[in-house]
Structure 1
Amino acid sequence: MCFITLHSLPSFLQLESCTPRLRRRHIPIRRWIAQVLVLTFSSLLNNWAFAYHVPLPVQIVFRSAGLAVSMLFGFIFFKRRYSLYQIAAVAFVSLGVLLATFSRPSSSSSSDDPAEFGRYLLGVAMMTTSLILTGVLGMLQESTYSKFGPHWREGVFYTHLLSLPIFVFLIPDVKHGFVSLSSHTASVTSSAASPITHWATTYAPYIVLAANLVTQLICVSAVNQLTSRVTSVTTNLVLTARKAISLCLSVWWFGNGFNAQLGLGAGMVFAGSLLYTTDTREKRPTEERRW
């Protein structure tokens, strides 16, 4: 949050007078506040799901159901109409998500523990709530850009700036994360055999952290720019393709658990998303975006 806010700050800071101030907004602040609240709670729920033993591949596939949520919200709130082909494709995606959600490896020693399975279901409930909030966020973003124009840079800046006060309450968690990072680095460097190995093991976690910050900036900027130009359904379609790449990296590179049911579910999700792209007969609202 801080990194993206500081990166965007020079574009919105006015230094013409003695007292620096922010430039005049194109979009009312209440619009950004509403998006910040939804985005923050959605992100927190996604992060908390890790504590309830929901495997990363399952999380990636589960979040791909955002395509169905966006379509449902588009039908309810924007009065859009979709072809049977598109509806069937999204139903295919939803079924794939259900298969992937209940695809935990049966070889796990804790798979038969009711308490452990209850924690898993609680994590799934968190992701479900986050999924709905993500759909609400897409609706808010689309309506905002439709009414006020594609000021996506303003969206990136204000959604991150206004999120900072909320994270004051999460300072202990952030502090714990940095302490864990430092302690891990110290334990690894103590056994380093050479200066090069020592340097690599000392700074590698921080290099990864820096790379994560940069990629987050690129991702957030690209998604906001895309959202300002197309519907939320199309945005979710692009994000589903991105999740396909993430799932492949998670399974092939990091060795996360994979089984036939998860593979079938993931395949259905991504195949359904591709099928959706072959039908472009989504009926847009009669009032076109104006900018």
Structure 2
Amino acid sequence: MAFRNVMTYEKLLLLNPKIGSALTFSQMLFIALQTLPSFIVFRPKSFVPSLKPRQVPLYQWAIQVVVLTLGSLLNNWAYAYKVPLTVLIVFRSAGLPVSMLFGVLFSKRTYNWRQIASVLIVTAGAFLSALSRTATSATSSKEAQAADLKLYITGISMLVVSLLCTGILGLLQEQTYQKYGPCWKECLFYTHVLGLPSVVFLAADVKQGLSSLAAQSYSGTPIPFLPYVVLLANLSSQYLCVSGVNQLSSRVSSVSTNIALTVRKALSLCLSVWWFGNEWNSQLATGAGMVFVGSLLYTSATSAPSQKEKRT
């Protein structure tokens, strides 16, 4: 499923690098519609359906919606700012340091020296990957090179903020599940339904993204409506992936969830390079290797008694 998700995601970005807002909105709408039937109830003597009572107060989900929406948008926008998908995947795999930092600051967790060393390796790997930007063509003017670099720095900054949002979201979900129980389905439904109104502020951008798919359907692809087939495949795989992540985060800590996501993204990175022939150099390879090796080292160090990964 992770393979299909990264393949369709990259295909959509290749069709239109500025499809980020439309993709985020489509994913939220699709997931909201898929989960809606589980929360509709028909009461006696009433023909009007209503929502099931919530386990969690609405304001708790509203806070998570802001973080989730901002992080998703920034992540999907980054590709339009000259950030290669390979760098994007490596950066998204570096959520472990953020989760550990928030665990120390807000959850009063302690970590042994091997865990700390592993996280430092992950951090250094992400930094090295960010510096691995392929050189601009020698025929480009200095002005064009400077403009590309400015765009790239902006894109990396977006990924940094998105990474922080992911860490905050993981912490908020962890605290919510500890207090109200493993209500991951409710989390999935409300965080996506409540995020839909954000499209009001991005309507023009969303329209541009969806219109580009329509244009490609009639003129840019040999198979009619192929872009919409790719979009539907991405939405379905995203729904399954997000459901799995939410279910996992309801059972283990945000740090452990990040470990599982790192392994998944490592496979996605290999697929991206092999299938699409994406940019790859020794510096990016070293950085990616450090991120994934550091994550595996962290896994081997989690047996320390001072760190409980499972909730009680």
**Percent identical residues:** 56
Determine the C-alpha separation between the residues in 2 that align with 1:266 and 1:76: 27
Give the aligned residue type for 1:151: C
Give the aligned residue type for 1:204: L
1:231 to 253, 273, 279: 253
Give the aligned residue type for 1:276: Y
Q: Which blocks of at least 5 consecutive residues in structure 2 are unaligned?
A: 1-27
Output aligned runs, 1:1-291, within 5 Å. 1-16=28-43, 17-106=46-135, 108-109=137-138, 113-188=145-220, 201-280=223-302, 281=304, 283-284=306-307, 289=311
- Alpha-carbon offset, residue 211 of structure 1: 0.8
SS in 2 for 1:253: helix
Q: Tell me the alpha carbon deviations over residues 96-152 of structure 1, each in whole angstroms, 9 at most, x when there is no partner.
A: 111110101225345962232122111111111111111111110000001100010
Assess if the C-alpha contact under 8 Å between 1:83 and 1:282 holds in 2. no
Q: Work out which of the two has the higher radius of gyration on C-alpha atoms and give 1 or 2.
A: 1
Determine the C-alpha separation between the residues in 2 that align with 1:227 and 1:202: 39
Give the aligned residue type for 2:168: V
Give the aligned residue type for 2:266: A
Assess if the C-alpha contact under 8 Å between 2:251 and 2:311 holds in 1. no
SS in 2 for 1:150: coil
User: Aligned residues, how many?
Assistant: 279
Give the aligned residue type for 1:21: S
Provide TM-score, normalisation by structure 1: 0.91
Determine the C-alpha separation between the residues in 2 that align with 1:243 and 1:108: 29
Structure 1 pair 111–273 and aligned structure 2 pair: CA distance change class (3 A): farther
Determine the C-alpha separation between the residues in 2 that align with 1:114 and 1:245: 33
Determine the C-alpha separation between the residues in 2 that align with 1:2 and 1:124: 27
Assess if the C-alpha contact under 8 Å between 1:82 and 1:282 holds in 2. no
Structure 1 pair 138–171 and aligned structure 2 pair: CA distance change class (3 A): same
Structure 1 pair 83–15 and aligned structure 2 pair: CA distance change class (3 A): same
Determine the C-alpha separation between the residues in 2 that align with 1:54 and 1:259: 14
Give the aligned residue type for 2:87: V
Equivalent residue for 2:4? Answer: none
- Alpha-carbon offset, residue 7 of structure 1: 1.2
Q: Tell me the alpha carbon deviations over residues 38-63 of structure 1, each in whole angstroms, 9 at most, x when there is no partner.
A: 01111111122122101111111112
Q: Which blocks of at least 5 consecutive residues in structure 1 are unaligned?
A: 193-200
Determine the C-alpha separation between the residues in 1 that align with 2:148 and 2:52: 51
Structure 1 pair 105–289 and aligned structure 2 pair: CA distance change class (3 A): closer
Determine the C-alpha separation between the residues in 2 that align with 1:179 and 1:203: 12
Give the aligned residue type for 1:124: I
Give the aligned residue type for 2:179: K
Determine the C-alpha separation between the residues in 2 that align with 1:28 and 1:284: 29
Determine the C-alpha separation between the residues in 2 that align with 1:15 and 1:174: 34
Which segment is superposed worse, 47-56 or 254-263?
47-56
- Alpha-carbon offset, residue 283 of structure 1: 2.5
- Alpha-carbon offset, residue 274 of structure 1: 0.8
Give the aligned residue type for 1:275: L
